[in-house]
Amino acid sequence: MSKNTKKMTIVSAVIISSVLISGCSLLGGKESVDPPQNTTYEEDAAKDSTKETTGEVATEETMPVELYLMDKYGYIVPQTLNLPKTNSVAKESLEYLVKGGKVTELLPNDFQAVLPENTEVTVNIKDKVATVDFSSAFNEYEAENESKILQSVTWTLTQFDTIDSVKLTVAGKELTEMPVNKTPIQGELTRADGINIDTENVTDIANTRPLTVYYLGGEMDSYYYVPVTKRVSNAEEDNIASAVGELIEGPGSLGGASSLMSFLTDDVKLLDDPVVADGKVTLNFNENIYTSGLEGEEKVVADEVLNSIVLSLTEQKGIEGVSITVNGEADLVNAEGESLTEPVTRPENVNTGSF
């Protein structure tokens, strides 16, 4: 993520939705791949893990890495896959973005890699800038996938602690524009450039700013979380309230045939301004934040609601956890009956499981 957004950190809590049967546990901690000091690339070792991803259990020889792949609707979506352990995890991750390559047998249903077949890649990391050099096969992509390639490469690499930004070269020559559709590349690429960018209905882009929130995509029993960069008015000064507002408003025209949705209904309201202290934001909602249930049943906050809020707000600088109250009361539970009295932090993995 950019310097203006929340970097992923290893946290202890992992929220798993009981109704998202496959692929909807949360995405979380930023992998640690620090190379030795005074070197430019090699030896970026990743952390150990035994998380379950894509229906396979990680072993001591594998590590969970999020790859930003394209779903059948054209959205770039993080999918956590178990990749072989390597001292060159940044390079390895990009190699798993090549069509027809290593990722083929691991791809979730209806997902595809974005880099052209036979693309070869090298990566140099220095001063938190990853310089990626592609072989000439990179130039053979379809024009409509140009922005998706930029987003996939940038967001895949910037999950790592050692990378804040990305520079692209082809056969050693730095790109100032993409080779097919001529999308300009102004300096280094960061997460501030956005992902799945929605500018529809924005009439004055100069007076807006980007804000990334997470909607649900996919279909029943195979939902997954999709980051979408919206444009919000500069007149709205509070990014936290703006993000909640975008979740309540929903994906708008991005929904429909694309299946993006939000589980926050339009009658959900923040009763007070968000309160931020020591990296935690507290949100006080009305009772419509609860999952509707039969009379006499305990009302809970649905995991889909909680997950979307936590993912969206921890994108923002300085936000590490989210506490939710209803009418000022903090005695809430999630769908599994677990107490939500402690702040919920960004988990280590999202969109895991088989599809």
Q: Going by C-beta distance under 8 Å and a sequence separation of 6 or more, which residues neighbour residue 242?
A: 211, 232, 236
Sorted by where each begins, the domain ranges of the chain are 52-191, 205-345
**DSSP-derived 3-state class of residue 183:** coil
CA dihedral 133, 137, 141, 147 (to 10 degrees): 0
Query: What is the per-residue pLDDT for 293?
Result: 54
Q: Is the pTM of the predicted complex or chain greater than 0.75?
A: yes
Q: For each successive 10 residues of the chain (355 residues), what is the average pLDDT?
A: 35 31 39 36 37 49 94 95 94 97 93 97 97 98 96 96 97 96 95 92 87 92 92 93 96 68 94 96 95 62 93 93 92 80 83 59
Going by the DSSP 8-state scheme, the letter that residue 26 receives in this structure is P
Query: What is the per-residue pLDDT for 183?
Result: 96
Query: What is the per-residue pLDDT for 256?
Result: 52
Report the distance separating Cα 64 and Cα 57, nearest Å.
Answer: 10
pLDDT per residue over 257-316, tens digit each? 567 999 999 999 999 999 999 999 999 999 999 986 545 456 789 989 999 999 999 999
> For the chain, how big is the Rg over CA atoms in Å?
20
Query: What is the per-residue pLDDT for 300?
Result: 87
User: Looking at the DSSP assignment, which residues form a beta bridge with residue 222?
Assistant: 219
Query: What is the per-residue pLDDT for 337?
Result: 80
User: Looking at the DSSP assignment, which residues form a beta bridge with residue 223?
Assistant: 218
Query: What is the per-residue pLDDT for 278?
Result: 94
Query: What is the per-residue pLDDT for 348?
Result: 76
If residue 209 lies in a helix (H) or strand (E), which one and from where to where? strand 208-219
- Tokens representing residue 171 in the block: 């056969």
Distance, C-alpha 219 to centroid of its chain: 18
Q: Going by C-beta distance under 8 Å and a sequence separation of 6 or more, which residues neighbour residue 138?
A: 115, 116, 119, 170, 179
